[in-house]
């Protein structure tokens, strides 16, 4: 299959798909796929919010993963950064390299998964690039829109703010552990999409709380925010460092994923997954105490938990049920230190 045919396939599957919210192209899009570059014209009173993300074979996913899941999670991982700033998703650019043997049915299934994510998160494909390579490598740039000066940054936390997380911590890492067990036992076959087993779903088909991020930004509720991509211990350290503050996390408040008994007996620890697992793509955010009453216990089915507080100084402390504090090291995912 030649490159133009691959591009036509991508355009047919995703490129002409209008966002779910309107079923028509964004008024900001002047020229989409079909030329050397896309043209967008931002509306008055809006800031563009841009981010990019890699998904690499043998780093972020394995060849044994369902192609639908690879396509879905590649786009979902990228759009999570827009949610972390409270931006409305608008457009994305897809650059993909793949070997010749994966330009047929594998590519169709991959594109079906990505199309599902683009519908779910109201993103329109407006361009990108393709090439051949020995392994699959996916680079996605996402473009979102926020009202001027409303995007939430990492550096706004202040001493006295409450500290919150959305969702359940460690669910994606638990799913990854189950997949590794399946690989060892040779039982990698399982249903895909909406029929995917719940224990694997957050790893293979991550749910991104886009609407919550927008609510926190447009309601001027959160003072700082970051997505939980690399684990609570690592991402909280980043937020605290950017804001030049310290933080205290209460161990008994963590909404940790329950670990099935057989996996727990094998050494899998729910608290370790919650603190260091990564890829949950929930939101970690701070709220001034005077606004805390405006934070609901859940938002559109996504649970929200107050897990601690922002304090003066530097560093992150973990507070045990006995009141004792210890330093919480940033032990989440680091691509230059670890392999999945």
Superfamily grouping for domain 154-327: PurM-like C-terminal domain (3.90.650.10)
**Smallest Cα–Cα separation from 217: which of 7, 46, 16?**
46
pLDDT tens for 237-260 read 999 999 999 999 999 999 999 999
pLDDT of 75 strictly over 60: yes
Report the pLDDT averaged over residues 258-265: 91
Average pLDDT in the chain: 91
Q: Would you say domain 3-147 falls under CATH 3.30.460.80? A: no
pLDDT at res. 1: 62
Q: Quote the pTM value.
A: 0.90
Per-domain residue ranges for the chain? 3-147, 154-327
**Distances from the Cα of 66 to the Cαs of 45, 80, 251, 289, in angstroms?**
42, 21, 35, 44
- β-sheet bridge partners, residue 146: 47
- Tens-place pLDDT, residues 150-176: 999 999 999 999 999 999 999 999 999
Is residue 11 scored above 70 in pLDDT? yes
> Cα dist. 144→6, 151, 258, 261 in Å?
27, 10, 34, 42
Give percent above pLDDT 90 in the chain. 74
> Are the beta carbons of 229 and 329 closer than 8 angstroms?
no
Rounded to 5 degrees, what are φ and ψ at 126? -125, 5
Q: How many CB atoms lie within 10 A of CB 119?
A: 14
| Phi, psi angle pair for 53, to nearest 5° | -155, 140
Inter-residue contact 277 to 130 (CB < 8 Å) = no
Give yes or no on whether 3-147 and 154-327 have one common fold: no
């Amino acid at each position: 299959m030649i490159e133009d045919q691959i591009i036509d396939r991508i355009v047919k599957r995703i490129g002409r798909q209008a966002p779910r919210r309107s079923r028509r192209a964004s008024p900001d899009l002047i020229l989409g796929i079909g030329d050397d570059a896309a043209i967008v014209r931002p509306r008055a009173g809006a800031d563009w919010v841009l981010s990019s993300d890699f998904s690499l074979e043998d780093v972020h996913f394995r060849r044994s993963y369902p192609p639908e899941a690879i396509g879905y999670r590649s786009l979902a991982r990228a759009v999570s950064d827009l949610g972390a700033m409270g931006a409305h998703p608008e457009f994305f650019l897809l650059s993909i390299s793949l070997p010749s043997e994966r330009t047929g049915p594998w590519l169709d299934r991959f594109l079906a998964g990505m199309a599902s994510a683009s519908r779910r998160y109201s993103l329109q494909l407006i361009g990108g690039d393709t090439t051949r390579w020995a392994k699959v490598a996916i680079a996605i740039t996402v473009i979102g829109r926020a009202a001027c000066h409303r995007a939430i940054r990492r550096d706004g936390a202040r001493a006295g703010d409450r500290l919150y997380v959305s969702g359940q911590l460690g669910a994606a890492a638990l799913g990854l552990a189950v997949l590794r067990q399946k690989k060892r036992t040779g039982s990698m076959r399982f249903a895909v999409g909406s029929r995917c087993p719940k224990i694997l779903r957050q790893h293979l088909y991550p749910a991104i709380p886009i609407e919550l991020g927008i609510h926190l930004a447009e309601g001027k509720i959160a003072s700082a925010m970051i997505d939980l991509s690399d684990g609570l211990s690592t991402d909280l350290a980043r937020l605290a460092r950017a804001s030049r503050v310290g933080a205290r996390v209460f161990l008994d408040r963590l909404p940790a994923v329950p670990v099935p008994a057989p996996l727990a007996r094998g050494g899998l620890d729910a608290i370790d997954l919650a603190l260091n697992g990564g890829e949950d793509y929930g939101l970690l955010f701070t709220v001034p105490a005077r606004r805390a009453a405006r934070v609901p216990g859940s938002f559109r089915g996504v649970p929200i938990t107050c897990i601690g507080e922002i304090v003066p100084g530097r560093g992150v402390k973990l507070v045990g049920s006995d009141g004792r504090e210890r330093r919480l090291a940033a032990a989440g995912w680091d691509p230059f230190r670890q392999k999945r």
